[in-house]
Structure 1
Amino acid sequence: MIEAPHVLETAISGDGQRGLVLVRYDDLSTNQRTRYLIEVDLQTGARRHLLKAEWISRIEAIPNSEDWSVLTDQGEGVQLYRICADGQISRLVAGASTVLIGADPRRAVLMSTTEASHRFGVLDYGWAPDGRYLWYSTARVVDPLPGVFQVMENPLEPLDSYVPNQSELRLRSPDGNERLLATARGEDRPYPTIVYGAQAATWQAKTGQGNEPVLVYKALVPTADGRLVFSLRHLGVISGSHEPPFQEASGIHGPNGGTLEISGFGAERALRERLSSGEVKTFGPIDFEIGTALAPLARTYPSLGFGVYGARYRTGVVRNGLIRVSKDQIDSVPVSHDLSLSQCSAADLQPVAVCIREGLNAPPEIVRVDLRTLTLRDLGAIDERYARLPALKAEARAWHKDDLTVSGFVLLPRGYRKGASYPAIVVTHGGDADNRFVNPEIQWSYPLQQWSERGFVVVYINDLVQSDNVERLEAFRQWFAKKGTLPGDKVVQRVWLDQVAMFKAAIDALAQEGLVDPSRVGIVGYSRGSQIVNMAVTQSDLFRVASSGDGGYFAPSSYWTEGINPTQQMLFGGSPYDAAARKNWERAAPVFRAGNVRAAVLFQAARVLSSRVDFFQALRACKKPAEFGFFPDETHLLHVPSNRAVAMTQNLEWFDFWLKGEESGDPVKAQQYMRWRRMRNDLAADASKEACPPQPAPNAF
């Protein structure tokens, strides 16, 4: 599964005749990650390979042209290129100096969470609707500090990722002249932010002023008290004027010329369009979201009276789809509920889209969508090798407790026999347990398919949907904003503890039907999932083994070292050393609840931060079975194929050992199993009883 294809992007020509598909592969034989750009004839399915490189991104059709534009590294760092209809490639922006973005914390101006370090000349770009004007963004290192000594006003972890930089936004006119529109420095903390690195600007038509392309972009503007704040600027590129100002549309354009919005919560959620007259048109109840990062497509066809939008279904079977909203109704592109339509792109001039159709056990394939008739044309699998693999069986599920409901999937063991009871592994990360093939956003470096092949039931469980509950939505907003009106314990309950309660509800239901052995249950998760894993093993006695991937939260030391003390003040009322706040910390923070743990916990980290180390050290102090694995020079989603293989193997062996009592028999692993057997003996002897007495649970699970 490490080498499975992962589709990153699609694009489509304005006339809807050709599509582009960008696919990433990890190759264990070379230990390299490579991207391939494939052009597809959307009538015949014929393909040609246009480009192969370590980096390709931001693929677009150039308006009013048969050519494509891409960001790619052709030996001079990542730059902006044109790919002509005959396949020839040439630079669109010359002489852009490069900066490092990626996994190197000592030289990069910005860290990547998913990819190896690359040098970037052009960070992002966008064409005006007529294809004549182009904006693009760059960055450069400024005033580099000596590598020996730095005075830091606000030292936060990691302390070695401080490279002062300036990002710049430029506009190119049809005559080739360029204009510097805005700059921003990124040197105020160890995580410098490149402001103009991702969709720094957008194009829109200026209502009532003809067809002049208008660029909307961010700029630093001084306030009356002397501060600099970001504000949207509007530039009419033909007139060269920022006047008169006009109101930017703050939502997704609807089929009637207004802005789409979703109102209500839970079963009462409805899609509405707010018209310029102030009138609100309601299309009726919906079970999806639009405008999400996982389904971002939004394109209107005014002459045809409809718009098409990516839809993220969060109730029932979680999946991505495509909807058409006309003057009076909503229609869905018909796809089986065990499949998703992902990475959709719609043509400018014709009602045609290209999408990737895939499922949890269905490898990705290319489809053409006729947006008039809502019919699909199959254009073949991305990689036939995976299409020929015998599929595992997955079932969509939903679990309920009181007024709470979560969705997910159950991946059954190969050779599953009805009536047999199996060990289970819960997988958690957020809301991305959906119908996508070997999805790295939830898969991380967990061998989910291999676990199924080895006789485990794999239980994917999504986070509770925020928009289903007013208080939960407010709790998440308060967590992100670091302030609000809800009591801190209510935020902890809604954001973390409710999720742990739903794991218990799901496993109880699966045990009751005889599928899962409740005495042999484990849990895995990275990032947000790591937070939940750490909470789950300290707030419940359900789990016997866990793997916590590159994350953590509520660590006492991180109150000062990771810049999150405003959040923790809001949650707990003060620092962990504040007598008035101490009880609140003890009710929630895993470090203070290590004595409650009944699971063997494996930690896998790409960066060693306080939030990752504190809980591990607390478990070791309490003589609980725990192991910490570190992958240097890695990213949050491991990008080196050999490291992913090591992480997956370690997870396989850890769960085999603790849930099935099995060892690999590999003599190279003798020391590993000696450590683990010693941990198991300590656990059996309950060696932690005197060292760390359990804390009472704040909720009964």
Structure 2
Amino acid sequence: LIMADVKTDDVNVRKTPRLAGEFIRGGIQRGTGDEFCYLVDDHAVARLMSVTGLGTDKLTTKTLTAENVNIDAYGISPDGTHLALLQTELDYSRDVFLWDRQNGKPAERLTTVNPQIDTWKLPTISRVKWKGAEGDEVEGILELPPDHKPGTLLPMVVCLHGGPTACDYYGFQFWIYGRTQLSTSGYAVFCPNYRGSTGYGDDFLTNLIGRENQIEVEDIMRGIDHLIAEQIADPERLGVMGWSNGGYLTNCLITHSDRFRAASSGAGMSDMTIQWSEGETPGHVVNYQRGLPWTSGDQYDRSSPLRQIQSTSFKTPLLLHAPGADTRVPPINSRALYRVARRYLNSPAELVTYPGAGHTLNSYQHRLAKMTWEQAWFDKYLKSSE
């Protein structure tokens, strides 16, 4: 049995408190018994769990992997005694481990795909918590430079994950969305798991419906305030970046506030009506806006950064990334904001297009271009003395 992105209620396991509100990402039966294994997003960790007794009154669940080990994928031997795990921790990324469940020993590491990581000075990765919108607890991941001294204020880039039904994990990540690259370049990197993220319960996820560009924005802004109060982030050197829904939230934040000195928005929505009419997933918009443009027009407007622009605040230097063949979030979204910034408000903006690229940048050249542009953009506006 294979499942993708289904909540626990959908597989009839609501009887156990251990599973309530967690987010199942895939499952497979172990061996010939009745044990069912699956991946769960649970408080910024991708755990491998199992359940026995499905369809009975004796439902039992347990976590199979260590506390802070993230499991990206797994496989099970035919007799169910061995598991192959693709896992990540704080100091390595996605290596294969073999776990013999019968001998009681930790999983054995079989690969070192990226041995160069062992020679790097890695960022310090931690979890942070704060009171978000409505006083609810919100969690995020904070990366600090390896040589950071406590009490030294840092330029900080807020990195916003996509989805929104996703999360940033408590583990090592070196990818094109900021983590490791920026933190080892002298920045604090803050990755909030804002309202709508997975792994924090069903209410935390569904509270975003009908409240986009509102409740999650408050979650994020309060997290920034928390790190300023903790004397980590320099309030005069704040940046924000994201891709997909993270790009959308970047657009939201810079039209809400003039606190950010630089922003990088990739493949992000700017107008919900445009997104509903042009994007390949109109149902996503309808669900989150609780209706169609002609029945929920006010909600569409409130959720659209393009319709919330105030010329007195929309001055953040803005780097926009637009994949040329993106059908998920069509590039017209980014082109519209670029036109506003450059033609009507005369604020700093650059539009980078990626010919032939879909919603995700897959080619090496495109990924390198994105990372190079962003490094230069944040260095110019957050580190330059000009």
Asked if these proteins are the same fold (TM beyond 0.5), I'd say: yes
- Partner Cα separation in structure 2 for residue 535 and residue 527 of structure 1: 12
| Residue equivalent to 1:541 | 258
| Residue equivalent to 1:78 | none
SS at match of 1:650: helix
Mapped pair 1:359 → 2:92 = no
- Partner Cα separation in structure 1 for residue 276 and residue 36 of structure 2: 47
CA contact (8 A) 2:322 2:353 kept: yes
CA contact (8 A) 2:323 2:331 kept: no
The one-character-per-residue Cα deviations of 1:554-594 (angstroms, maximum 9, x if unpaired) are 2665565447888579668746xx9x95x666544222333
Mapped pair 1:517 → 2:234 = yes
- 1:369 aligned to which of 82, 89, 99: 99
Change (3 A) 1:558 1:365: closer
Within a 5 Å distance, the mapping from 1:573-588 to structure 2 comes to 574=293, 581=297, 587-588=302-303
What is the deviation of 1:469? 5.3
Mapped pair 1:394 → 2:145 = no
Question: Match of 2:348, as an amino acid?
Answer: P
**So what's the TM-score if we normalise by structure 2?**
0.81
| Residue equivalent to 1:468 | 201
- 1:262 aligned to which of 1, 4, 8: 8
CA contact (8 A) 2:20 2:201 kept: no
SS at match of 2:213: helix
What is the deviation of 1:424? 0.4
- Partner Cα separation in structure 1 for residue 282 and residue 73 of structure 2: 38
- Partner Cα separation in structure 2 for residue 388 and residue 616 of structure 1: 41
- Partner Cα separation in structure 2 for residue 641 and residue 325 of structure 1: 40
- Partner Cα separation in structure 2 for residue 471 and residue 462 of structure 1: 10
CA contact (8 A) 1:291 1:298 kept: no
- Partner Cα separation in structure 1 for residue 204 and residue 121 of structure 2: 44
- 2:49 aligned to which of 323, 333, 345: 323
Within a 5 Å distance, the mapping from 1:308-457 to structure 2 comes to 308-313=37-42, 315=43, 318-327=44-53, 329-337=60-68, 339-372=69-102, 375=105, 376-401=107-132, 402-430=134-162, 431-438=166-173, 443=175, 445-457=176-188
CA contact (8 A) 2:13 2:19 kept: no
| Residue equivalent to 1:289 | 22
What is the deviation of 1:502? 1.2
- 2:222 aligned to which of 505, 528, 531: 505
| Residue equivalent to 1:618 | 340
**So what's the TM-score if we normalise by structure 1?**
0.47
What is the aligned residue count?
363
What is the deviation of 1:325? 2.8
Question: Match of 2:179, as an amino acid?
Answer: L
What is the deviation of 1:463? 3.3
The one-character-per-residue Cα deviations of 1:317-343 (angstroms, maximum 9, x if unpaired) are x11122233455333224242x31221
Change (3 A) 1:273 1:373: farther
- Partner Cα separation in structure 1 for residue 232 and residue 123 of structure 2: 16
The one-character-per-residue Cα deviations of 1:482-541 (angstroms, maximum 9, x if unpaired) are xxxxxxxxx0x2x33211111111111111111111121111001111111111111233
What is the deviation of 1:637? 2.0
What is the deviation of 1:547? 0.4
| Residue equivalent to 1:458 | 189
CA contact (8 A) 2:128 2:140 kept: yes
- 1:602 aligned to which of 319, 326, 340: 319
| Residue equivalent to 1:633 | 356
Question: Match of 1:368, as an amino acid?
Answer: L
Mapped pair 1:527 → 2:260 = no
Change (3 A) 1:368 1:559: closer
- Partner Cα separation in structure 2 for residue 378 and residue 333 of structure 1: 16
| Residue equivalent to 1:94 | none
Q: Which has the larger radius of gyration?
A: 1
- Partner Cα separation in structure 1 for residue 85 and residue 173 of structure 2: 17
- Partner Cα separation in structure 1 for residue 35 and residue 290 of structure 2: 45
SS at match of 1:341: strand
Change (3 A) 1:553 1:373: farther
Greater per-residue helix proportion: 2
SS at match of 2:234: strand
CA contact (8 A) 1:399 1:505 kept: yes
- Partner Cα separation in structure 1 for residue 130 and residue 45 of structure 2: 17
The one-character-per-residue Cα deviations of 1:454-497 (angstroms, maximum 9, x if unpaired) are 21100112232467354962764xxxxxxxxxxxxxx0x2x332
- Partner Cα separation in structure 2 for residue 298 and residue 407 of structure 1: 30
CA contact (8 A) 2:21 2:202 kept: no
Change (3 A) 1:617 1:385: same
SS at match of 2:214: helix
SS at match of 1:496: coil
Moved over 6 A (4+): 563-566
Mapped pair 1:496 → 2:213 = yes
SS at match of 1:381: coil
CA contact (8 A) 2:99 2:108 kept: yes
Change (3 A) 1:299 1:451: same
- Partner Cα separation in structure 2 for residue 630 and residue 458 of structure 1: 25
| Residue equivalent to 2:382 | 659
Change (3 A) 1:506 1:367: same
Change (3 A) 1:647 1:472: closer
CA contact (8 A) 2:243 2:268 kept: yes
The one-character-per-residue Cα deviations of 1:210-257 (angstroms, maximum 9, x if unpaired) are xxxxxxxxxxxxxxxxxxxxxxxxxxxxxxxxxxxxxxxxx79xxxxx
Change (3 A) 1:586 1:435: closer
CA contact (8 A) 1:319 1:340 kept: yes
What is the deviation of 1:452? 1.5
Change (3 A) 1:436 1:450: same
CA contact (8 A) 2:30 2:36 kept: yes
Change (3 A) 1:347 1:634: same
What is the deviation of 1:650? 1.0
